[in-house]
Structure 1
Amino acid sequence: MRINENTLLEGKCVVLVPYEREHVPRYHQWMTSPELQKLTASQPLTLEQEYEMQRRWREDDDKCTFIILDKKRWADPCVPEEDCMVGDVNLFLTDSEDPSLGEIEVMIAEPDNRGRGIGKEVARMMMCYGITSLGIHKFEAKIGKENQVSLALFQKFHFQEVSYSEVFQETTLQLRIDEEQEKRLTGDGSFMEEKNYRETKAAIRREPSGHSC
């Protein structure tokens, strides 16, 4: 999605950045994992197909994707951005007749970063971005039967089960955003700051004078 091609969202523990070509090799490596394929209901792609997917997702109007970076590691100019990657988060506009509906997906791909509350922070950040920048007022999440961690995550945000597919063995959860829900999610806005991605990257990750990595 073009709207977020130069958007950076900074939270307490993570930074969300646009999905760039430099992220593709690590993302491709993640998706060779049978565990992640199963949890995300994904099929393995070749590296060339992954590059094409990244390009199309960047241009499609119905897909908003951010790569999740470890904020502490990203602040170190000696650590390549690819090595700061933790996972990704997506919003899919799945209903052309209802642009206020967004399907959210959160993937924490790096095992060492699971169980640290990152998924909860990322989900909140993405939902707030969806509300304020994309006009989303109803969120949907489709969770595989065995993915109890993701199911518990969205239930913490008061998502309610609306259906279960025996064929795909997945539960569909929904959350309608009313005034009270929006206030609970956004709070005073201090938990997240939106910045210019390229300007921030150039300023923060520039090698300090006289410093060698």
Structure 2
Amino acid sequence: MRINEDTLLEGHRVVLVPYTPEHVPRYHGWMQSEELQLLTASEPLTLEQEYDMCRSWRQDTDKCTFIVLDREQWNAGVQEEQCMMGDVNLFLTDPGDPSLAELEVMIAEPRFRGKGVGTEVACIMMSYGISKLGIKKFQVKIGLENQISINMFKKLNFREVSSCKVFKEVTMELQVDPSVQTWILDRTSQVQERDYRESCKRTEPGLNRGLNQE
């Protein structure tokens, strides 16, 4: 999506950056995993198809995508491809209702799972969706066997609205009323936004890229 193509969001443990061609090889490697294909209901793509998908995600008006980086490594000057933890997406699935978005969070690197990273990423993305895209309802579709993700979204006050045994998935939703909006924005008040292009200018390893620098 054009709106986030130059946006960087820095949280407590994660940094969200636009999906660029430099991220594609690592992402493509992840998606060869049968486990991730099952969890994300995805089919494996060729490397060239993955590059095409990257271009699509940056240009299409109904997709908003960020790559999730490990903030500790990123601040230490490690190359972004080596900092990658997963990705997060918002899909505007209803052309007649641009305030409805399907949310997807994938923490691909096993060592980062079970540590609250997915929860932080989901909250940052919902905050961005509310503030920048005018989202009023979030929806997630999760495999019935993915109990960890189901529990995570329950803790974020999503409620189950349907379950499909044919597709083996559960659909959960969160309506963004004023109290929910306040709760999400307060929870992500420490998140800082900057121009991604400025962070790309940095080339010296170890240089502090903190957003509070003057």
Count matched residues.
Answer: 207
Question: Which residue is equivalent to 1:190?
Answer: 189
Q: What TM-score, normalized to structure 2? A: 0.93
Question: Which residue is equivalent to 1:106?
Answer: 105
Question: Which residue is equivalent to 2:212?
Answer: none
CA contact (8 A) 2:65 2:87 kept: yes
CA contact (8 A) 2:141 2:169 kept: yes
Alpha-carbon distance, 1:200 to partner = 2.6
Amino acid in the other structure paired with 1:50 = E
Question: Which residue is equivalent to 1:148?
Answer: 147
State percent identity of aligned pairs: 59
Alpha-carbon distance, 1:9 to partner = 0.5
Question: Which residue is equivalent to 2:45?
Answer: 45
Question: Which residue is equivalent to 1:130?
Answer: 129
Q: Say if 2:84 is the partner of 1:85.
A: yes
Instruction: Output the CA distance in 2 between the equivalents of 1:190 and 1:38.
Output: 34
Instruction: Output the CA distance in 2 between the equivalents of 1:159 and 1:120.
Output: 12
Instruction: Output the CA distance in 2 between the equivalents of 1:17 and 1:140.
Output: 22
Alpha-carbon distance, 1:65 to partner = 0.3
Instruction: Output the CA distance in 2 between the equivalents of 1:11 and 1:57.
Output: 22
C-alpha distance 6-164 of structure 1, shift in aligned 2 (>3 A) = same
Instruction: Output the CA distance in 1 between the equivalents of 2:162 and 2:188.
Output: 33
2:67 is paired with a residue of what secondary structure?
strand
Unmatched segments (≥5 aa) in structure 2: 208-214
* Equivalent residues in 2 for 1:24-103, closer than 5 Å: 24-77=24-77, 79-103=78-102
Amino acid in the other structure paired with 2:124 = M
Question: Which residue is equivalent to 2:177?
Answer: 178
Moved more, 64-73 or 192-201: 192-201
1:97 is paired with a residue of what secondary structure?
coil
Question: Which residue is equivalent to 1:12?
Answer: 12
Alpha-carbon distance, 1:80 to partner = 1.5
Alpha-carbon distance, 1:206 to partner = 3.2
Q: What TM-score, normalized to structure 1? A: 0.94
